[in-house]
Amino acid sequence: MRLVRDRRQQATIPGMATVQYESKENAGHRFWTARYGRYAIRIDANRPGLYRWGITLEGRSIRKGTAPGRDQAADAVSQALEELPRQRSSPSARQLRILRQS
């Protein structure tokens, strides 16, 4: 597998998440990857007019979809990211144990 790094492209939509994508290529297959906090994003250009996108968290798929173009896929990703929690609002189980012990 040979990854060719292209250029970075930033998708900015007012009032939406800003994500910087890195363009890559593997055996003629083009795709874009990005990170947004703890989320990993990938947009695949499988065939003309079909761009699959996905958002994962710790290796698990949490959102996915398709779009007719790369820009529309980036817009859909930004919209989906806005709906996801950025950070945990409640304390973790470990933090609760520490609080109870003090």
pTM confidence score: 0.67
Instruction: Decide: 44 and 52 in contact? Cβ < 8 Å.
Output: yes
Burial grade of 33 (CB within 10 A; 0-12, 13-18, 19 or more): middle
Per residue in 72-100, pLDDT tens?
Answer: 999 999 899 888 876 554 444 444 445 44
Mean pLDDT of the chain: 76
Token readout for 54 is 């996905």
